[in-house]
């Protein structure tokens, strides 16, 4: 007799990471259930709309089911988890912008912190042994990384302290620093996921993402740095640089590599773990360097303007130390380079 397919429940399924996880697990024989209510369009306007991605999944994945639920709906979430009894929960829904959070602090906290708790508690009540993977953020470190000694190079800032030559480790402190309301709400969610792992022995982890990106990213000015930059580049639209001479650095990881790590964790889960999920130093670039990479694919120069004032709490230099991830899951590593990522994003925007 055939065994029933395993089920994965993905919140934020129409977003970049959520949709990638849906596709990845579908290929591996899972029944995929997605939670999404297109709240990104409410947060960011028409440019943030993700319905196109929802339709792409519904049309392309026979074993995908969409659930139009707001993660702030405690009863709706509890009833869905109880009905499905999933084998894995991947929580990728969020209000993702620290700029936007300052204008909508209640919506931000209710979505990021309370929404996470709704899913955690539903999972605990139904089956505490089901792994819970939370897409956290490097903003839990606030602007603490800006206090690391750094050096100014021709096209980027970089760490000068030898302790951070491989990037920011998971042991970096998260308190006594400026987070933005978004960072604070994500800290609350992050700590709660860890606590459910430690207190209730729920298999769980927080993936503190850097710039997770890819061709299905609906990048906007307030969130989705590389995707939005390339969109501006292709359309000949002015890109606004906010401070730091355009030399601020981010590490970029393709959403497929993020999904691959999620699968590795599912196969060998741990309780209450934390991982910095980024592209590492090899996949890092500054804004100025991203302009150059984009130009290599298009043959034209980026139009941009510069404002001396930086965004509050913005990281000057940030890239993830991937040592812990590689140590715990030696079968996992980065497979897509920065040029690979840019090439795919270019094709993605052109195809829409």
Closest CA to 278 of 141, 113, 180, 146: 141
The predicted pLDDT at position 314 comes to 86
The predicted pLDDT at position 352 comes to 66
CB atoms within 10 A of CB 236: 11
The predicted pLDDT at position 214 comes to 87
The predicted pLDDT at position 218 comes to 67
Question: How confident is the model over 148-190, as pLDDT tens digits?
Answer: 999 999 999 999 999 999 999 999 999 999 999 999 999 999 9
| Tokens standing for residue 231 | 């969109």
With a CB cutoff of 8 Å and minimum separation 6, the contacts of 238 are: 232, 303, 304, 305
Structural domains in the chain, sorted by start: 7-351 (3.40.50.720)
Question: CA–CA distance from 85 to each of 8, 77, 125 (Å)?
Answer: 9, 12, 10
Question: How confident is the model over 235-249, as pLDDT tens digits?
Answer: 999 999 999 999 999
Q: Please provide the distance, in angstroms rounded to a whole number, between the alpha carbons at the two ends of the chain.
A: 43
Q: Which residue has the tokens 């980065």?
A: 334
HSE value, Cβ hemisphere, 13 Å, CA-based, for 173: 8
Asked whether the CA dihedral 232, 185, 110, 78 is positive or negative, the reply is: positive
221/265 Cα distance (integer angstroms): 32
Parts of the chain with a pLDDT under 70: 1-3, 218-220, 222-224, 352
């Amino acid at each position: 007799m055939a065994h029933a397919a395993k089920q994965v429940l993905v919140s934020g399924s129409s977003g970049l990471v959520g949709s990638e996880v849906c596709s990845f697990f579908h290929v591996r024989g899972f029944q995929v259930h997605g939670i999404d209510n297109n709240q990104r369009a409410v947060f960011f306007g028409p440019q943030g709309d993700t319905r196109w991605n929802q339709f792409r999944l519904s049309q392309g994945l026979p074993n995908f089911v969409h659930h139009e639920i707001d993660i702030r709906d405690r009863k709706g979430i509890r009833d869905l988890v109880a009905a499905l009894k999933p084998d894995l929960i991947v929580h990728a829904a969020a209000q993702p912008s620290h700029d936007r959070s300052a204008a909508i602090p209640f919506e931000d906290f209710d979505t990021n912190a309370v929404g996470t708790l709704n899913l955690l508690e539903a999972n605990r009540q139904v089956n505490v042994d089901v792994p819970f993977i939370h897409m956290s953020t490097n903003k839990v470190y606030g602007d603490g990384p800006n206090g690391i000694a750094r050096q100014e190079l021709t096209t980027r800032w970089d760490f000068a302290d030898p302790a951070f030559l491989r990037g920011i480790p998971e042991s970096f402190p998260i308190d006594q620093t400026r987070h933005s309301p978004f960072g604070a709400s994500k800290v609350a969610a992050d700590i709660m996921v860890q606590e459910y792992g430690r207190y209730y022995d729920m298999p769980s982890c927080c993936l503190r993402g850097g710039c997770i990106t890819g061709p299905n990213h609906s990048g906007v000015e307030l969130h989705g740095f590389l995707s939005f930059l390339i969109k501006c580049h292709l359309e000949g639209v002015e890109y606004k640089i906010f401070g730091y001479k355009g030399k601020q650095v981010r590490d970029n990881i393709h959403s497929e590599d993020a999904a691959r790590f999620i699968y590795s964790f599912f196969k060998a889960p741990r309780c209450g773990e934390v991982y910095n999920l980024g592209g590492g130093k090899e996949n890092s670039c500054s804004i100025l360097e991203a302009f150059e990479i984009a130009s290599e694919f298009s043959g034209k120069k980026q139009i941009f303007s510069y404002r001396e004032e930086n965004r509050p709490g913005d990281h000057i230099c940030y890239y993830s130390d991937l040592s812990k991830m590689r140590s715990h899951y030696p079968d996992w590593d980065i497979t897509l380079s920065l040029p690979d990522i840019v090439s795919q994003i270019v094709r993605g925007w052109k195809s829409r």
